Structure 1
Amino acid sequence: MATDRLPEPGRAKLQIFQKMERDPPQSPAPADRYHTALVTGDLGSLQPLMAQHYGDANVVFEINKNEMEWQVKSLATFGLSGLWSLEYKRELTNPLCITASHGHTDCVRHLLHWNADVNAAPGGKSALHEACQGGHTDCAELLLEHQADPNLMSEEGLAPLHLCTSPNTLRCAQMLVKHGAQVNQVSSEGQESPLHIAAKHGLVDHTLLYLQHGASVDTRNRHEETPLSVACGQAQEPHGQEPYLEVCCLLLSHGADANATDEEEKSPLHKACKNASHSLVQLLLQNRAKVNVFDYNGTSPMACVLQSASFKRECRPHQTVQMLLNHGSQRIWPGAFEKVLKSCASTPEIIGILFNSYSKLRVSEKWREVIPEEVFQLTRKWNAHWERSPSPPFGESCTPEE
């Protein structure tokens, strides 16, 4: 079967079953009505159901979903070739987890009144995990007041603090810390601390909260990355770098090592240069980051920015190149200049800065094969200027005209 577009997905079939851990004093509540009231936060419907079926506060719901998914097998002559595949999904949960995940505080309170187990996690996550992941502060606070464990690990090895991954979860994080959450607790698989998570998502207020409560600033994850290293690696978009810059400022002001390397021997400066993050590079250099260090593959920070320059033009990578040179970065070996020209052909500003970093550099006709003609003519013009004057053709700053 071939088609030029994906077929419409089939309708999912949802089946809800109740799994009782013990025999209830009365008949179990109707599953569909019970589940609907929990999802929608319909306290008016939930109250009579609980009054009549009060043994169901800790019932386990088994939710089975059969969903049709289109599986692409190969490209056909006239479109995509594939077939529909029935995907079976099974989820275990309970009333408290359902209401907490949707932020229905009144329903959470009502279930706790009927002795719902506050730390039960039939599907791998407790109600507190669900509330924190959704940023439902009132629910999280209520659960903590009823002795929810702030350090309980989920089936995936995550504590509630690890699920505070967006700005709207700040109050949840504050509540967790207030009730004894460990700010240095690491996840089971990635060995990430809450500070790593905050750095990864550019969460300035979370970062400050954890540091104020004793978070280890240079703790390392599975890949030997510190929070500073993680933040520098995540600052990828030119218009979204400000939060990461603030996070890095906080980390450095609390003693973060600007030269800590990961398992690939990459420093924070390597990662900031790869993202052509001029402000981050400047911050790191001001905090004594080493400019002439090499990672496991023998790559320097200068090489990192040159390799990414062509697809980071909106970040103005030539500013990063100039800053590295101003702080003592080794110049490109003249024999490798042709290769650099090829990778930076779309950024003539960088070519000009590198060209001006030499007292003398012979222009080769081979350059014409790897860079646009107008850029090649610029190099000839710069070379001619050198023969007349010892000063760089673009003045003392060595920065080409914009």
Structure 2
Amino acid sequence: MSSSDCRPDYPLSSDLATRLKSALDAKDEERVSDLLCTEVRHVDAVIELANDDWMKDPAAQLPPAVLLGLWTLEYKRELTTPLGIAAARGHTDCLHHLLSRGADPDASPGGRGPLHEACLGGHTACAQLLLQHGAHPDLLSAEGLAPLHLCRTAASLGCAQALLKHGASVHRTGGTDRDTPLHVAAQCGLDEHASLYLGHGARVDARNGRGETALSTACGVARRPDEYARCLRLCALLLQHGAAADARDEDERSPLHKACGHAPPGLARLLLRHGANPAALDYGGASPLGRVLQTAACSPHAAPQHTLRELLNHGSPTVWPDAFLKVLKTCAPAPAVIEVLFNSYPQLRVSESWKEVIPEEVFQMHRPFYQSLFAVAHGPRCLQHLCRCAIRKWFGKKCFHLVPLLPLPKSLQNYLLLEPEGVLH
């Protein structure tokens, strides 16, 4: 029987459901526990906490989306049990009371069992208690997710450890994307979870339904600064365990393609040092360098100029000269990106027509750089730059390794490695 057909013991309109919902909304944990332990008639009762099935109630006030015609045949209905509520709220004493009275640890009228709820909330003591009373460690929810798939926060590490101790599988795929627990850890930047799963035999290069490995997944979510440090540790861990730095997903995107979108430069550097191919093309014909240029203007926090340097210093092909005008148009608000790319050519013909694609406010904001760019149109590049290009051509894709070995001041080494200066010479 589906949840839509289930007749709850305590429907939404019942007195107990009303009082329980009020206590939950008020975060009155003592009252919640008291209601579950003293007023529910039997331990596996089905309680309805939400139901917006307006189609079955002509008197119901319709939501705005329905009035606008954006209606759907699906609706939200929340069915649960006392055990499910107690596990979700972390009420260990209440949970123990219900289990001692014979509550079913796997009851899931709403699609998720109590163990799922405990893991989602990161309540280790509740998860351990449920497992000790026979909860199935690999029970699937209505969405096809095992409890390990719901260990999505740092607080859930203890839950994951308890699940594995009781026989949960690190290889089980779940959900529409067929993710493994390692994929979930990668999505959430949970390096300790990933280490735990790898220690229990998780396959580091297992693929999900989109053809992604955990490394690919992690590189695709490293966007916000607060996520970055954890993501970098996680990716380093996966690479240490043999993750393929060039594994392609269903769109032929490598982890490096994803790291060159919005992530800070350290991630691209890590992948390149582990052999990622800077010249790889996805199905759309985009290279990692192309990904940097596509997102440079909208990701200034990611320091795209430094990611670009890493790629060029590891042998990435540059942009076809005739396409530089398109790059200028896309990346005009990020002049450091323009500078690094421009300096990767010995000589590039500058046209006065380029000024037309630079918005006036951008030109004025970065006036010294753009003035130096158009000054190059009237003569050749300086001898120092031409020497830089000759050395870089000789070193090729080993620039990142060989330049620091040269007996030169750090400033000159940085110059050879395309460190932006703010103006062109």
Q: Under a length normalisation based on structure 1, what TM-score does the superposition of the two structures give?
A: 0.83
- Name the counterpart of 1:190: 177
Paired residues of 1:352 and 1:399 also in contact (CA < 8 A): no
Paired residues of 1:349 and 1:399 also in contact (CA < 8 A): no
Paired residues of 2:245 and 2:274 also in contact (CA < 8 A): yes
User: In structure 1, the residue corresponding to 2:164 is in which secondary structure?
Assistant: helix
- Name the counterpart of 1:352: 339
Change beyond 3 A, Cα 1:313–1:188: closer
Change beyond 3 A, Cα 1:92–1:398: closer
| Counterpart Cα distance in 1 of 2:35 and 2:345 | 79
How is 1:245-394 mapped onto 2 (pairs within 5 angstroms)?
A: 245-371=232-358, 372=363, 374=367, 375-382=369-376, 386-391=380-385
| Counterpart Cα distance in 1 of 2:316 and 2:131 | 53
Instruction: Give the C-alpha shift of residue 236 in structure 1.
Output: 1.0
Paired residues of 1:158 and 1:187 also in contact (CA < 8 A): yes
Paired residues of 1:309 and 1:317 also in contact (CA < 8 A): yes
User: In structure 2, the residue corresponding to 1:57 is in which secondary structure?
Assistant: coil
Instruction: Give the C-alpha shift of residue 91 in structure 1.
Output: 2.4
| Counterpart Cα distance in 1 of 2:78 and 2:151 | 22
Output one character per residue of 1:156-208: Cα deviation in whole Å (capped at 9) or x when no partner.
Answer: 10000100111111111111111111011100421100000000010111111
Instruction: Give the C-alpha shift of residue 389 in structure 1.
Output: 1.9
Where does structure 1 lack aligned partners over 5 or more consecutive residues?
A: 1-15, 21-28, 74-80
- Name the counterpart of 2:46: 60
What letter matches 1:332 in structure 2?
V
| Counterpart Cα distance in 2 of 1:132 and 1:321 | 41
Change beyond 3 A, Cα 1:298–1:34: same
Change beyond 3 A, Cα 1:91–1:238: closer
| Counterpart Cα distance in 1 of 2:99 and 2:43 | 8
Paired residues of 1:41 and 1:107 also in contact (CA < 8 A): no
Change beyond 3 A, Cα 1:292–1:46: closer
| Counterpart Cα distance in 2 of 1:36 and 1:380 | 67
User: In structure 1, the residue corresponding to 2:77 is in which secondary structure?
Assistant: strand
What letter matches 1:196 in structure 2?
H
Instruction: Give the C-alpha shift of residue 397 in structure 1.
Output: 3.4
Instruction: Give the C-alpha shift of residue 390 in structure 1.
Output: 4.7
Aligned-residue identity in percent? 45
User: In structure 2, the residue corresponding to 1:172 is in which secondary structure?
Assistant: helix
Aligned residues: 368
User: In structure 1, the residue corresponding to 2:78 is in which secondary structure?
Assistant: strand
- Name the counterpart of 1:115: 102
Paired residues of 2:152 and 2:184 also in contact (CA < 8 A): yes
Paired residues of 1:272 and 1:280 also in contact (CA < 8 A): yes
Output one character per residue of 1:30-87: Cα deviation in whole Å (capped at 9) or x when no partner.
Answer: 745995799645555655547xx5xx112222345458575269xxxxxxx969x9x9
| Counterpart Cα distance in 2 of 1:359 and 1:314 | 29
What letter matches 2:45 in structure 1?
V
Paired residues of 1:93 and 1:122 also in contact (CA < 8 A): yes
User: In structure 2, the residue corresponding to 1:62 is in which secondary structure?
Assistant: strand
Change beyond 3 A, Cα 1:89–1:380: closer
Judging by fraction of residues, say which structure has more strand: 1
Paired residues of 1:276 and 1:305 also in contact (CA < 8 A): no
Paired residues of 1:325 and 1:331 also in contact (CA < 8 A): yes
Instruction: Give the C-alpha shift of residue 349 in structure 1.
Output: 1.2
Output one character per residue of 1:317-350: Cα deviation in whole Å (capped at 9) or x when no partner.
Answer: 1111111111001011111011011111111111
What letter matches 1:229 in structure 2?
S
User: In structure 2, the residue corresponding to 1:91 is in which secondary structure?
Assistant: strand
| Counterpart Cα distance in 1 of 2:226 and 2:18 | 47
What letter matches 1:377 in structure 2?
Q
Q: Under a length normalisation based on structure 2, what TM-score does the superposition of the two structures give?
A: 0.79
Paired residues of 2:222 and 2:263 also in contact (CA < 8 A): no
| Counterpart Cα distance in 1 of 2:97 and 2:17 | 19
User: In structure 1, the residue corresponding to 2:189 is in which secondary structure?
Assistant: coil
Judging by fraction of residues, say which structure has more helix: 2
- Name the counterpart of 1:7: none
Where does structure 2 lack aligned partners over 5 or more consecutive residues?
A: 1-6, 53-59, 389-411
Instruction: Give the C-alpha shift of residue 119 in structure 1.
Output: 1.1
- Name the counterpart of 1:401: 421
What letter matches 1:391 in structure 2?
H
Q: Aligned Cα RMSD in Å? A: 3.0
- Name the counterpart of 1:71: 64
| Counterpart Cα distance in 2 of 1:143 and 1:37 | 26
Instruction: Give the C-alpha shift of residue 315 in structure 1.
Output: 1.6
Change beyond 3 A, Cα 1:365–1:111: same
Paired residues of 2:8 and 2:79 also in contact (CA < 8 A): no
- Please, which of 112, 116, 129 is the counterpart of residue 116 of structure 2? 129
What letter matches 1:59 in structure 2?
A
Change beyond 3 A, Cα 1:45–1:248: closer
Paired residues of 1:93 and 1:123 also in contact (CA < 8 A): yes
- Please, which of 18, 32, 37 is the counterpart of residue 9 of structure 2? 18
What letter matches 1:222 in structure 2?
G
Paired residues of 2:189 and 2:227 also in contact (CA < 8 A): no
| Counterpart Cα distance in 2 of 1:109 and 1:208 | 31
Paired residues of 1:363 and 1:380 also in contact (CA < 8 A): yes
Paired residues of 2:17 and 2:48 also in contact (CA < 8 A): no
